Amino acid sequence: MMTPKQFLAQCAARNNAEWCAAMSRSHDLASEFEAQAWAAPTRTPLYYPDAVTLIPGADPVALAARIDTAVPGASIKDSFADLDLTEAGFQVLFEAQWIHRPASAPIIPSGPAWHVAGDPDELRAWALAWDDGEGNAGLFRPELLDDPATFVLAGHSSGGRVIAGAVASRSDQVVGISNVFALDGGPEAAWPLVLDAVHRLFPTLPVVGYEHGDDLAAAVRHGFEPVGPLRIWLHG
C-alpha cells in the first residue's frame, strides 16, 4: 500500500512531467505520456529532461529507447531514485528531493507586488530577470502563455522592475513550483512572494516541487517537507 509521502512524490513527478511537456510544446517539440514515463523523442529545451518516470520501477531499457541518446545532452529524471541507467550509458548528474507544502500551511504575506505575466513583453521581462545575464532568457517563449496550466509569477519593485518570481504549474491534485528566483536574496527572498501568490491563485491545492542543496534547505525553512528522492541521469 502506498504511503502518503509516496503518493505525494508520485503526484509531484506527474506534475513535473506535465510542466516539462508544456515547456517542450512551447518549443514545438512533441512528447508522449505512457504508463511508466513521459518522454520526448528529440532533445528537449535546455535544463529540461528528455524523460520523467511516473511510477517506481520503470523499465530502464524501454525508457532509454524512447529518447535520442545519439545527440549529446540526453537526460532522464529518475523520479523515485530506483533505476540503474549505467548500462544504458548514463551517469548520475545530481540527486534531489521532491518537496511538499500543505495547502493549509501558514502564509506570510509578501512585500513586493506580484502578478501573472500575461503577454510576451511581460514574459520577456520576467525571463531576463530569471536569467540574470546568462544568455538563456529565450528559453521562455511566448507560446508558453497559451498553456492553461502554466502561470508565470512575477514580483515587482516599487518602480515596476521584475525582481523575483517562479513558474506555477497546475495539476488536478497539486500545484508545482519551479524556476524560483530573486535578484537579491535568492530563494530565501523569493519564497514568501511565491507562496503568497500560489495561495491566492490556488488556495486549496498543496504545493510541490523539487530542490537540492542550499535551495532544499531554504524550501524547508519556508514550510516544505521532503517526501522522496529523485536522480537526474546524464548520458555520456
Contact between residue 207 and residue 195 where contact means Cβ atoms under 8 Å apart: yes
Question: What whole-number distance in Å separates Cα of residue 108 and Cα of residue 204?
Answer: 17
Q: pLDDT (tens digit, 9 = 90+) per residue, 82-118?
A: 999 999 999 999 999 999 999 999 887 767 789 999 9
Which residue, 192, 193, 146, 200, is CA-closest to 175?
Answer: 200
**Amino acid, single-letter form, for residue 107:** I
Q: CA separation (Å) from 125 to 20, 132, 154, 160, 161?
A: 22, 11, 9, 10, 8
Q: pLDDT (tens digit, 9 = 90+) per residue, 167-178?
A: 999 999 999 999
C-alpha angle 16/18/21, rounded to 5°? 110
* Mean pLDDT computed over 152-175: 96
Q: pLDDT (tens digit, 9 = 90+) per residue, 8-30?
A: 999 999 999 999 999 999 999 99
